[in-house]
Structure 1
Amino acid sequence: MYLFANATIYIGLAVAIYSLLVMTFGISTKKQMYVNSGKGGMIALFVCAALAMLSLFYLLATSQFQYQYVTDYTSSELPIIYKFTALWAGNAGSLLLWTFFLTLYAIMVAFSRKMKGNPMVPYISAILLANAVFFFFILGFVAKPFAVLSSVPAEGRGLNPMLQNPGMIIHPVTLYLGYVGLSVPFAFAMAALILKNVDDFWIKMTRRWTIVAWLFLSLGNIFGAQWAYVELGWGGYWAWDPVENASFMPWLTATAFLHSVMIQERKNMLKIWNISLIIVSYALTLFGTFLVRSGVLTSVHAFANSNLGLYFLIFMGVAVIGSLYVLMSRYNLLKRSAGEFQSFVSKESSFLINNLLLVGAAFAVFWGTIFPLVSEAVRGTKVTVGIPFFNTVEAPILLSMMFVMAVCPMLAWQRSTLKNLKKNFLIPAILAVIGMMLMVVLGIQKAWAVIGYGVIILLFITHFLEFYRGVKARRKMTGESPFIALYRLMVKNRRRYGGYLVHLGIAFITMGIIGSQNYDLQTMKTVSLGQSIDIGAYRINYERLDQKKEGTNDIVYAGVTVFKDGKRLGSYEPKKIFYGNADSEPSSEVAIISSLKEDLYIVLSAWENDGKATFVVKVNPMMDWLWIGSFMIVIGALFAAWKGKYQNITPRYTGVLSEVS
């Protein structure tokens, strides 16, 4: 097994190098036979990555402790599902997963029916193959998944208890699918520049790829937030941790890219900006991988210190410098073919403002994340940037983006007249102001909360009007029933109305953020058996403290009964789990009572021999709306990407690899 498993890596590296060289030679000589050979090598490369994955899965599942990776991340008592998911618990395994997805994406692009005969394919393939060479090199010589120990231990160290959660089965996979997925539009963009193609063909061909990558990044962040909320026991869902930021930054720039490409398609504008955005998004995926694996920053999510960071830093530098060189070499060509803005008050301008806000948010997160490194390099002292900095900077940016999202549907292309603005915005603005006044009357006094909810009301109204006017116009033309008209309106304009669903999802998430950040309650109290804890409208009666064993794990749990406004809600058992691995820190299993209004969050923090126990109790308003909004984002993105049409697009090039095509 050792020889076979390692052979998949080293043969994969040899095949990746061969395929890159022969593909490059085919491009330079314009010989189709060499390009076909390179494409055949890509299939072999995918097979090597798949076999390596299956090999590691087998070793993990069967507890082959002679392999260092198996010893480091599993134990014989570990449930089989977590033995499988241990594949992405460490550097070597997670990079193998990354490589598998990369080779999968590469052959999907190279052998896509819609890309058949397209002269961009060899260039795209070569760029993706260059990535594959790097990752196979790392697996072969730096982070070796099949390294063998000199002596076989009797037992493995086990999986980090925090990773033994259903959320961590899905979170890394979706995140890597998003990270790797952004390499596809990046490869398309570079291929288009090399071929001196300055139209929007490459954007149309990568639209679905970009949406899918963005969707997986969204899912990765959502599952990560949910995992943090239920597993870490601190009552929050986002701590601006460096590794959280690493996945959030490319999400922000990819979101900006998805918006700005619509301006290029419709108005032939922002060509240089769009290329720059996709370069930055791709570079941020590598930067995030560097942060996670370099050990330069402390994070609950990060892998152990290793020398991987230097390799990723070098690769990222080469990729960014190379892509910027290609961009600058085509700068004049892109600039000559670009359109211009005709009015500041227009849909185009709102898209641009939205882009600037998203990029500004990404830069603020980037600066806050790297500042400890900068301070240590300049002053010799690592100054940590905490949650208050990020909240203070990002909150007004988020509200500004929400406002732009609210007004954008009501603006006209090219130029909005005063009459048009009055017609579209007067009633929504009045209703939003009335809504804000009602909130003040109902007791919402904090200025940011009132403004935030007012902007959300405006967004709901303007988006409702978009759906209403579209249905009304369609019914007038076709005589269809309202529901049939709505369905067909959305199906025939998938990207537009899918985008609106995403906007509504973000509005729901913002509702949850505003409520949970501004009106949460928290108490920490030590009580004896029979005593109660009061918080808000809730009373928690502490009734028992007990202990049990599950497998090799010891569990200490408290029995509590929860009442709200005097009405019994039920009995719950917050727990503390001590894992069989003595090196593991105990983890909390939180009792959460959810409703659309708020969550009651109960953590068993500590206890004493006489039965006294310390509980941390929080009331988190509007939390369910955060998860509802996340679900709506997924639905909107799937709707926008599903069965999209390319509208019989024909490639137009100034530089053509005719013999290869």
Structure 2
Amino acid sequence: TLGGRWAYVELGWAGYWAWDPVENSSFMPWLMATALLHSLLVQDKTGHLKRLSIILAIAGFFMTFFGTFLTRSGVVSSVHSFAESPIGPNYLAYLAALMLISATIFAFRAPSILPSDTEKVWGVSRESALVMTQFLLISFGAIVLIGTLFPIVSEWLTKQRISIQAPYFNMFAPWVGLGIIFGIALGNLLRYGSNAMPNGKRIILSSIAFAIPVTVFLVYFGNVMDSPSTKNLIAQLVGLYLSSWAIGCLIGDLYYRFVEIRFKYALFFKRNLGYFGGWVAHLGMMIAIIGFMGNYRGLEHVDTVKAGESFTFHGHRFEFLASGIEPRQKDNATNYTAPVKVYQGDKYLFELDPAQSKYPTKDQVFNEIGINGTFWQDIYLVLVDFNKTDGKSATFKLYINPTVRFVWLAIVIICLGGIIALFDRYRGNKSRDVVAGEWETSK
């Protein structure tokens, strides 16, 4: 997340995730760790998935070191990777030994690791929903791993490196997101060891209605109708509606849990802090998916203007001030800044100061991005080039990035949910739920 934020504000390509090999190397351990978290929930409540939990723990641990290998060895082409290092072969041998030792120990110990109820037949229940979530995460992890390693393997086999670009990953990501939406929406309504879904029909139907005005709200304020193609528009409408429906299911489930305990909030949070932490994290995930939808309608524009002149794009006017390029000293760098005032109609909004930075010890020029906007969209301005003689003309690249701030907000909410759940574990409380006047397992 921090790497994505850094890339967004520093690199000047207006994105936060490019499926770069080094980015993927940090993403794969996260997928395994998230799958492990859901596996441990099932193990804690039912005694099942013990072996899978161990496998996921080994995989997550291994992927962390493997990501370090990809980053430090220089075997992948990435703006984030280090130069080729002689440590690569030694580190690879360490990884092989790590995997061999882990696999050997698991092979010897696995037969003695049995579920508490070997006769249990799984049906529709919360644990089955969690297993499906794990399947999605593990499958997507395998897809990312294949795409990341394919250039290396192809070069080894054919002496020609075949690069895998973002379209490969983006072909699978929406379907994984769709599965996660249904998993979160329905999984929270189910209970462990039972296909019972207390108030489930009522919640699902009311959420179908709830999602309609929420989707209209998101479409209107998010300018979704400005999508560049019908295909992108349909994808966004479906994604926004289903995400809104899932949020409605989350809210409905929480509401009826309050109803069952007669709105005794203190008692609810005392007994259900772990559940509430997961609820917050899942809400954050839905907000993140809404934020990701903005990638379908991002816009970009390149224009060259003289000082004192303006250009217009997407309902905004951008005025390059008559003063032209202004050299500004900042720390040990000289920033060649292009001050630009932004208007919507005749209304002044703010000033952006994109720049090119020159350091005395470096020949390379670095971009300083001008970013501002609203909660619904970022206006992202890059100074591409300028007249080095008098600084009175400049070329700008403008990006309109919808709902990026939803993503940053979602990450904070997900982290907050994790912290809340950790407090429940710290206190040693078992999360419970009131069903028919009795506390039942609710995680």
TM-score norm. by structure 1 comes to 0.60
* From 253, 256, 268, the counterpart of 1:489: 268
Inter-partner Cα distance in structure 2 for 1:370 and 1:456:
32
Taking the aligned partners of 2:283 and 2:84, their CA distance within structure 1 comes to: 41
**Which residue is equivalent to 1:563?**
343
Deviation string, structure 1 residues 507-533 (Cα, Å, up to 9, x no partner)? 111111111x11111001111112222
In the alignment, is the contact (CA less than 8 A) between 2:274 and 2:424 conserved in 1? no
Alignment partner of 1:346 is 2:125? yes
Name the counterpart of 1:451.
238
Of residues 532, 535, 539, the one that matches 2:313 is 535
When residues 426 and 552 of structure 1 are mapped into structure 2, their CA distance, relative to the original with a 3 A threshold, is closer
Question: Kindly tell me: are residues 645 and 340 of structure 1, through their superposed partners in 2, closer, same or farther at Cα, counting changes over 3 Å?
Answer: farther
Amino acid at match of 2:130: F
Residue-by-residue CA offset, 1:413-434 (whole Å, 9 max, x unaligned): 2232599653442222343367
Q: Structure 1 or 2: larger helix share?
A: 1
Question: What secondary structure is seen at the aligned counterpart in 2 of 1:493?
Answer: helix
**Per-residue deviation, 1:594:** 2.7
Rounded Cα–Cα distance in structure 2 between residues aligned with 1:341 and 1:589: 60
Which structure has the greater CA radius of gyration? Answer: 1
> What's the CA shift for 1:648?
9.9
Q: Give SS of 2:261's match.
A: helix
The one of 408, 427, 430 equivalent to 2:206 is: 427
Aligned residue for 1:280?
Answer: 59
Paired residues for 1:204-353 under 5 Å: 222-335=1-114, 337=116, 339=118, 342-353=121-132
Cα distance in 1 between the residues matched to 2:417 and 2:115: 36
Q: Report the CA distance shift for 1:340/1:568 in structure 2 as closer, same or farther (over 3 A).
A: farther
Question: By how many angstroms is 1:613 displaced?
Answer: 0.5
**In structure 2, what is the equivalent of residue 409 of structure 1?**
188
Conservation of the 8 A alpha-carbon contact between 2:189 and 2:197: no
Alignment partner of 1:605 is 2:384: yes
- Provide the residue aligned with 2:248 in structure 1: 461
Paired residue for 1:520, among 298, 304, 312? Answer: 298
Q: Is the aligned partner of 1:393 residue 2:180? A: no
Deviation of 1:494 after TM superposition, in Å, equals 2.3
In structure 1, C-alpha distance between the alignment counterparts of 2:35 and 2:20, rounded to whole Å: 22
Structure 2 CA distance for partners of 1:553 and 1:438, relative to 1, 3 Å: closer
* Structure 2 residue aligned with 1:634: 415
Residues 372-391 of structure 1: per-residue CA shift (max 9 Å, x gap): 00110111111111111111
Shift in alpha-carbon separation, 1:236–1:258, aligned structure 2, 3 A: same
Whether the aligned pair in 2 keeps the contact of 1:286 and 1:312 (CA below 8 Å) is: no
Equivalence for 1:59: none
Q: For residue 330 of structure 1, give the secondary structure of its aligned residue in structure 2.
A: helix
Q: Is the 8 A contact 1:267 1:339 kept in 2?
A: no
Corresponding residue for residue 549 of structure 1: 329
* Distance verdict in 2 for CA 1:613–1:437, change over 3 Å: closer
In 1, Cα distance between equivalents of 2:331 and 2:218: 52
Q: Do the aligned residues in 2 keep the contact of 1:410 with 1:425 (CA within 8 Å)?
A: no
Matches within 5 A, 1:175-186: none
Partner of 2:13: helix, strand, or coil? coil
Structure 1 gaps of 5+ residues are: 1-221, 650-661
Q: CA RMSD in A?
A: 2.3
One-letter code of the match for 1:474?
A: I
Q: How many Å separate the matches in 2 of 1:375 and 1:549?
A: 48
- SS at 2:8 equivalent: helix
- Deviation of 1:551 after TM superposition, in Å, equals 4.7
Task: Identify the structure with bigger relative contact order (alpha carbons < 8 Å, sequence gap 6+).
Answer: 2
Q: Deviations over 1:122-178 (max 9, x none)?
A: xxxxxxxxxxxxxxxxxxxxxxxxxxxxxxxxxxxxxxxxxxxxxxxxxxxxxxxxx
> Could you tell me how far apart the structure 2 residues matched to 1:424 and 1:534 are?
46
Distance (Å, rounded) in 2 between the aligned partners of 1:336 and 1:357: 23
1:616 counterpart SS class? strand
- Report if the CA contact (8 A) 2:301-2:313 is conserved: yes
Match of 1:616 in 2: 397
Higher strand share: 2
Deviation, 1:232, is 0.3
- The whole-number CA distance in structure 1 between the counterparts of 2:331 and 2:217 is 55
The code of the aligned residue for 2:24 comes to N
Amino acid at match of 2:248: I
The CA distance in 1 between the partners of 2:165 and 2:292, in whole Å, is: 18
Shift of 1:456: 1.1
- Residue 342 and residue 470 in structure 1: after superposition, are their counterparts in 2 closer, same or farther (change >3 A)? same
Query: Which one of 261, 273, 276 corresponds to residue 474 of structure 1?
Result: 261
Corresponding letter in the other structure for 1:395? P
Cα distance 1:247–1:384, how it changes in 2: closer, same or farther (>3 A)?
same
